[in-house]
Amino acid sequence: MLSTVVIIGNIIAFVASIFMVIAGLLNDRKQILFVQIIQMTLFIISNIVLKGYTAVVINAISIIRNLFAYKDKLSNTVSYILLALTAIFTFIFNNHFIIGLLPLIGTIVFTLNLNNKNIIKIKLALSFSMLMWLIFDIYIQSYSSALFDFLSMAAGIITIYQVKTHKEKDKNKNEA
């Protein structure tokens, strides 16, 4: 039986995950960033409830990153500084040892691929990041987050397959 704390944390995480889906459906960059700030704020609350302090740190710094991006002030230098701060504070606040480092690893891999022009590499990085979060979320009993992590990871893998299939069809069409 799940404790009341776990249920409350999962309800908040579920609402945050809905905002994550909404952000994925939007096309306006500023709207996406704004909705992601709401999403991450809710994830912070959920992760405090579930004692996932690594996620609290990562989401808090991600809010700062999104605020820079929203104001068109997010340079590579700012990104790397925020990434370094994420790593430092993750090591300070990590209360789940190796498992607590998984979201950091996923965040680093994804962040380093954000400027990549290859959609397959971006989707691979995102899917890897979601796998890291999936393991972490299961560990802290954030099952609603884990479900959305899994769905995001699956969507990324499906998109990779579709892109590769489309490229192969175009290649075969051009050779014919």
Average pLDDT, the chain: 93
- pLDDT tens, residue by residue, 1-53: 889 999 999 999 999 999 999 998 888 889 999 999 999 999 999 999 999 99
- Nearest-CA neighbor of 113 among 103, 104, 105, 123? 123
In b/e form, how buried is each residue of 138-153, taking b as 16+ CB within 10 angstroms? bbbbbbbbbbbbbebb
pLDDT, one tens digit per residue, over 112-168 is 887 778 888 888 999 999 999 999 999 999 999 999 999 999 998 998 899 888 877
Per-residue pLDDT tens digits for 63-118: 999 999 999 998 989 999 999 999 999 999 999 999 999 999 999 998 888 777 88
- Is the pLDDT at 171 greater than 90? The verdict is no
Q: How confident is the model at residue 176 (pLDDT cuts 50, 70, 90)?
A: low
Neighbours of 108 (CB within 10 A): 17
SS3 call for 84: helix
**Gap between the Cα atoms of 159 and 32, Å rounded:** 20
pTM of the model: 0.89
Please report, for the chain, how many H helices and E strands are present, in that order: 7, 0
* CB burial of residue 90 (10 Å; 0-12, 13-18, 19+): buried
CB distance 150 to 130 below 8 Å: yes
Neighbour tally for 94: CB within 10 Å: 17
